Amino acid sequence: MVLNTQKKSLVEKSSVEKVTVVLPQILKQEVMQLKETLHVSMNTIYQTAIAEYVAKQKREQLREEAKMMLDEYNENPEIQELIEFEEEIHEY
């Protein structure tokens, strides 16, 4: 986890919204220990963790979509023919 250790927030103050999150006690204690170790706020840890999770999910979604496109290409002879046709045009 990469934390923003500068005073700057991950988002502008005018675009923030307060939310409530329920965590198991053990996880909250681990976050508190991390806060002390890294000298950052718990809020920074939560924001960073959520931002990284969202980015990871977006990457995974893109991977899945790319896999679906590859499967479609491999299973659809019409698409393969179009690609071959375009390659022939570029050779001229």
Per-residue pLDDT of 7-39, as tens digits, reads 455 556 668 899 999 999 999 999 999 999 999
pTM summary value: 0.65
pLDDT digits (tens, 9 = 90+) for 62-78: 999 999 999 988 888 88
Q: What is the DSSP string of 9-57?
A: -SS-GGG---------HHHHHHHHHHHHHHT--HHHHHHHHHHHHHHHH
Q: Where are the domains of the chain?
A: 24-91
CA gap 89, 84 in Å, rounded: 9
Which residue would you say has higher pLDDT here, 82 or 24? Answer: 24
